[in-house]
Amino acid sequence: MADEKVFRIFAGKIKEILRETRLDTDKLQEVRMRAGSPLFLKYQGREWAVGENGELSADWKKGYRIKKEELRETLEYLSGYSMYAYDEDMKQGYLTLPGGHRVGLAGKIVTEDGKVQCIRHISFLNVRFSHEVKGCGERVLPYLTVNGQVCHTLIISPPGAGKTTLLRDLIRLISDGSPWLPGQNVGVADERSELGGAYLGVPQNDLGMRTDLLDGCPKGLGMRMLLRSMAPQVIAVDEIGSETDFEALESVFYCGCKLLATVHGNNLEDVKKKPLISRLIHERMFERYVILGCAIGPGKVMQILNEQESPLFCEEA
């Protein structure tokens, strides 16, 4: 990923500082901007404060202090000077950029009847960069197939541990075909545009030749639409959690279509505390569990379990 492509979305001064870091942008995960606070970035799993000349430091006192007008300028760049065009995304607290990059927003929330109407006085930005890592699913996929069929799989991961990156590559491998199974028709309900990174409806990330994408569509609705219209053999969704999601998941389980899904959590016991997921686990709806960790870097597969929760793979300590 070229520096210009990564850094051009930032305000002039911030852009200059980030360029001076001379970092490998393929390993850059986040840039955080908070009005009046130091400029932080996350690089190869570590947080750094960034100084005025681009130097990285573990000491936050050496970080360049973000000005309110720099946040405003960055927002204007992000939106192409048309913030109104992003109203619906902003109500959810984020913007999605071409390529699947996501910008988290925080500030003054305006609500009406319990629903978010807008965010004003935005004073906090978190730019999370999406990176394709082709091949990262090759080690995992053999554990997720039986007799040439994909298993119902739940990927469990703390934030920032690479679950979306892994899911994206598994979609590509399943769609294109591999030594472990022939190519399958895959339907993707990409509510936050992170998997496909679609621009004008066309995925900018490689999801494979047999993949059909619903971009920006709520997961529950998207799964039902795909089942009705695209005859998928596999459906993939990122970050399940709502009751609507689970109603649609049951439709997938009982129609003969296989499911790939992700959820936030540190381990299987952690996600069992979520009532809706706990029921699916108790009923053994999922046939495989992939648990990721980030203690020694993102994308680390710590365990793969079967439906009886017995280990098929464990990373050595």
Q: How far apart are the C-alpha atoms of 69 and 32, rounded to whole Å?
A: 15
Question: CA 191, 126, 13: angle at the middle one, nearest 5?
Answer: 130
pLDDT, position 81: 46
Burial 1-40 (b: 16+ CB within 10 A, else e): bebeebbebbbebbbebbbebebebeebbbbbbbbebbbb
Tell the residue number behind the tokens 């365990």, with chain if given. 303
Q: Transcribe the chain into DSSP letters.
A: --HHHHHTTS-HHHHHHHHHT---GGGEEEEEEETTSB-EEEETTEEEEE-TTS-EES-GGGSPBPPHHHHHHHHHHHHTT-GGGGHHHHHTTEEE-TTS-EEEEEEEEEEETTEEEEEEEEEEEEEE-----TTTTTTTGGGGEETTEEPPEEEEE-TTSSHHHHHHHHHHHHHH-BTTB----EEEEETTS-SS--BTTB-SS---TTEEEEET--HHHHHHHHHHHT--SEEEESS--SHHHHHHHHHHHHTT-EEEEEEE-SSHHHHTTSHHHHHHHHTT--SEEEEEE-TTSTTEEEEEEETT--EEEE---
Write out the two tokens for 97: 């950029």
Lowest mean pLDDT among 6-20, 114-128, 171-185: 114-128
Q: How far apart are the C-alpha atoms of 174 and 166, rounded to whole Å?
A: 12
Highest mean pLDDT among 2-6, 152-156, 161-165, 203-207: 152-156
Q: How far apart are the C-alpha atoms of 247 and 242, rounded to whole Å?
A: 9
Q: Cα 150 to the chain's mean position, in Å?
A: 22
> Is 118 a residue whose pLDDT tops 80?
no
Q: Which of 134, 130, 142 is nearest to 208 (CA)?
A: 134
Share above pLDDT 90 across residues of the chain, in percent, rounded to a whole number: 58
pLDDT, position 163: 93
Q: How far apart are the C-alpha atoms of 111 and 134, rounded to whole Å?
A: 41
Q: How many residues does the chain have?
A: 317
- The answer to whether 165 touches 299, Cβ cutoff 8 Å, is yes
pLDDT tens for residues 72-88? 888 888 776 455 556 66
> Is 58 a residue whose pLDDT tops 90?
yes
Mean pLDDT of the chain: 88
- Tally of CB atoms within 10 A around 208: 21
pLDDT, position 34: 96
Strand-pairing partners, residue 202, are 199
> Is 224 a residue whose pLDDT tops 70?
yes
pLDDT, position 210: 98
